[in-house]
Amino acid sequence: MHVRSRHRSALLVLLALVVAACAPDPGSPTPAATLADGTPASSADATPAATEVAGASDAPSSGPSQAPTVSQTDTEWGRIWDAVPAGFPRYPGGTTADDATADPVSAAYAIPDGDPAQVADWMQSSLELATFRTEGLSGPFEDGAYVLDSVGAGDCRIETRIAPQGSLILVTVLYGAGCPA
């Protein structure tokens, strides 16, 4: 058991380094925040980044030159942010799947050929490294899905659903409005 504990500790340290290395520079615009206002990724990556670096306010743009704001939506679960913040844990290999659910979510992405239990464990560890405490991990349910409930400071609540969908795993996140944007 001592070897397993050491292996898990080493894995958590490695995971923390990977998450830290993937976090964007706080002074630069983030594609996730830019995309939250509905701007297509191709124009979000090119126009706003160049505008902010150059500092020009008259650069061609379809919206205001200031950083876009993320809106909130009321759901049966509670009020959520319409996007997760930059640096929010995302399972490696996951691709954006905004059209995968009709329900409002803060984030949705698909993972090809994964194990839902492994994804749930990874998300739990990653959220804990990001200072969110696990309130509960439920599953597997009849459909093979897991639900991870996490909490942060104050009224911050997060629900992460990990559900098999054919050969994919769909991860959806409800990032509570009480969490930092």
Q: Are residues 49 and 82 in the same domain?
A: no
Asked whether the bond before 140 is cis by omega within 30 degrees of 0, the reply is yes
The CATH number for 108's domain is: 3.30.160
At residue 48, the pLDDT reads 28
Together in a domain, 75 and 64: no
Greater model confidence, 33 or 124:
124
Same structural domain, 28 and 103: no
How large is the average pLDDT for residues 16-41? 41
Q: Are residues 83 and 156 in the same domain?
A: yes
Please tell me the predicted confidence (pLDDT) of residue 46: 34
Predicted TM-score (pTM) above 0.85: no
Residue partners of 109: CB distance under 8 A and separation at least 6:
90, 91, 94, 95, 96, 97, 170, 171
- Please give the share of the chain, as a percent, with pLDDT higher than 90: 57
The position carrying tokens 């150059």 is 54
pLDDT at 85 over 90: yes
Cα-based distances in Å from 141 to 48, 119, 161: 43, 15, 11
pLDDT at 67: 56
> Could you tell me if 59 and 115 lie in one domain?
no
Residues 57 and 82 in one domain: no
99 — pLDDT class (breaks 50, 70, 90): confident
Same domain, 101 and 174: yes
Task: Determine the structural domain holding residue 47 and report its residue range.
Answer: 1-68
Q: Name the domain count of the chain.
A: 2
Last residue in a domain, options 45, 68, 91: 68
- If 0-12 CB within 10 Å is exposed, 13-18 middle and 19+ buried, where does residue 93 land? exposed
Same domain? For 56 and 75 the reply is no
* The last residue of a domain, from among 68, 93, 108: 68
Looking at the structure, do residues 106 and 167 belong to the same domain, yes or no? yes
Both 102 and 170 in a single domain?
Answer: yes
**Where is the domain boundary, 68, 96, 125?**
68
pLDDT of residue 3: 44
